[in-house]
Amino acid sequence: MHYVYDLKCRNGYYVGCTDNINERVLRHQRGHVPANANRLPIELKFYFAIQNKHTAFEFEKYLKTGSGRAFINKHLN
């Protein structure tokens, strides 16, 4: 299983993909992920569980676009 997730950071949002959601969020919270280490604290807003790795990465890529952010704002915030 692969997970596409959204974190609320101090100054915005972070979208990522992983195969271990608990471990990955813990790494983010501890500041061990360079992309948002200086944007703490973080809060997990949502995640999607997707069986296919390729589909998960494509969905992550989509959520990082303007249309993807609009989808998040309309349906998940």
Tokens linked to 39: 């944007």
Residue percentage of the chain with pLDDT more than 90: 95
How far is Cα 29 from Cα 59, in angstroms, rounded to an integer? Answer: 23
Q: What is the pLDDT of residues 64-73, one digit of tens each?
A: 999 999 999 9
Could you give the C-alpha distances from 65 to 38, 59, 76, in angstroms and in order? 23, 10, 15
**Mean pLDDT, residues 27-53 taken together:** 96
pTM of the predicted model as reported, rounded to 2 decimal places: 0.92
Fold of 2-75: GIY-YIG endonuclease (3.40.1440)
Q: What is the pLDDT of residues 10-28, one digit of tens each?
A: 999 999 999 999 999 999 9
Question: Structural domain boundaries of the chain?
Answer: 2-75
Q: Is the pLDDT of residue 77 over 90?
A: no
**Mean pLDDT, residues 28-53 taken together:** 96
